[in-house]
Amino acid sequence: MLADGAVWALGAMSGTSLDGVDAAMIRTDGVSVAAFGPSAYRPYSHAERAVLRAALGRWPESPEALAAAEVVETAHAELLARFSGAQIAGFHGQTLAHDPGGRGTHQAGDGAVLAAALELPVVWDFRSSDVALGGQGAPLAPFYHHALARRIGAEAPLVFLNLGGVGNVTWVDPAHPAPEAAGALIAFDTGPANAPIDDLMTARRGRARDAGGALAARGRVDEGVIADFLRGPYFRRMPPKSLDRAAPGLADAVAGLTDADAAATLTALAAACVAAAFEHFPAPPGRVLVTGGGRHNATLMAALAARLPCAVAPVEAAGLDGDMLEAQAFAFLAVRVARGLPTSCPATTGVAAAVGGGRISPAGGPDTPS
């Protein structure tokens, strides 16, 4: 289906923050990254975000999930149509429910719809195979993080920290040439990140987010709330492990705080969850490179610097694009799926063995199993 060697691939990501769709092109053979291409962003409207919020926790065929799928497909088709020159696309969809070990995982959006609209092969449903084989189905960006670590010439272990609705870390030892090799990667969700802050701002201030962490900067952190949350069962589990967007009990825990104090506490909590993750790393990382929307929150970045035992910087410090890294990851993974390469392994999702995920919808044709 693909030409030999490196090809131009288009990836799209709509994260748990529900802010919009990122899309980016990279040139890759599914092993290394040869070049970065154009990128673009399409925000969800207020009405679209309301539809998506109403569908959180819903499973396929529910009216709310069907309405969300239509929003997701329309937004992605509009954005991806702006690009040209790609030979394949990776479509993550919008996670509405994630219950590994239970009902599974559900990302709204049908890749076949996009394949028809774009007249381009589309790889999608990246997580289900991993979950079906006993994995957490998340995070999936670590294999791309490994390729990036080698591209930027890293020689010592480092960490990629993605601060979306949920935080996740990838500890990378770039000395290993393959991401699925023993000792190359450890990856897992750290805990809540932007989602509780965004939900607080929506509920109390009618705003989508605490821009720049301005409200949190005026508040006082309630360390008791943080300590109580970190005693929860999730933090006693060994990785790999993953979380849904929801963080039960957090809204109630800060209900008695002022808006500023609640924002400050939830922001500090996100950093504290990352600090707690360090006990699971096999060797201390030399630095943490931060990607995702959370790196634009100056208060959160300051909290990370205060709580972590190593240097912290946005991924731009290494010449990477933190706004588009996850979209690039799904372009990378699409090529891996098309070429039969694994996309997750025991150290990243807890799956029993290295496994490839994803369904392929050729333009105008039926799906092809990975």
Look at residues 297, 294, 295, 299 and name the one whose alpha carbon lies nearest to residue 261: 299
Span 7-139+323-369 CATH architecture: 2-Layer Sandwich (3.30)
> In angstroms, rounded to a whole number, what is the distance separating the alpha carbons of residues 66 and 176?
43
CA distances from 307 to 155, 273, 278, 321 (A): 24, 10, 11, 24
> In angstroms, rounded to a whole number, what is the distance separating the alpha carbons of residues 350 and 200?
32
Give the model confidence (pLDDT) of 218-237 as tens digits.
999 999 999 999 999 999 99
- Strands, DSSP E only, in the chain? 7-14, 20-28, 33-43, 88-99, 104-108, 122-124, 158-163, 166-172, 185-192, 287-291, 311-314, 359-361, 368-369
- Whether the link from the prior residue into 196 is cis, omega within 30° of 0, is no
Look at residues 336, 369, 330 and name the one whose alpha carbon lies nearest to residue 354: 336
Rounded average pLDDT over 208-221: 97
**Is the pLDDT confidence value at 365 over 70?**
no
> In angstroms, rounded to a whole number, what is the distance separating the alpha carbons of residues 360 and 230?
40
pLDDT of residue 80: 98
Domain boundaries for CATH 3.30.420.40 within the chain: 7-139+323-369, 153-318
pLDDT of residue 3: 83
Rounded average pLDDT over 316-323: 96
Give the model confidence (pLDDT) of 99-154 as tens digits.
888 889 999 999 999 999 999 999 999 999 999 999 989 889 999 999 999 999 99
Fold of 153-318: Nucleotidyltransferase; domain 5 (3.30.420)
> In angstroms, rounded to a whole number, what is the distance separating the alpha carbons of residues 221 and 321?
31
Q: Tokens 């990140």, residue?
A: 193
pLDDT category, 243, cuts 50, 70, 90? confident
pLDDT of residue 270: 98
Q: Tokens 């690039």, residue?
A: 328
Task: Provide the Cα torsion 307, 192, 11, 19; round to 10°.
Answer: -110
Host H or E run for residue 360: strand 359-361
pLDDT of residue 367: 64
> In angstroms, rounded to a whole number, what is the distance separating the alpha carbons of residues 336 and 357?
9
> In angstroms, rounded to a whole number, what is the distance separating the alpha carbons of residues 347 and 335?
21
Host H or E run for residue 333: helix 325-338
pLDDT of residue 242: 82
Q: Pairing between strand 368-369 and 158-163?
A: unpaired
pLDDT of residue 59: 96
Phi, psi of 341 (to 5 degrees): -95, 150
User: Please, what is the Cα angle at 269 between 293 and 48, to 5 degrees?
Assistant: 40
**Is the pLDDT confidence value at 290 over 90?**
yes
**Is the pLDDT confidence value at 310 over 60?**
yes
pTM over 0.85: yes
**Is the pLDDT confidence value at 369 over 60?**
no
pLDDT of residue 147: 98
pLDDT category, 364, cuts 50, 70, 90? confident
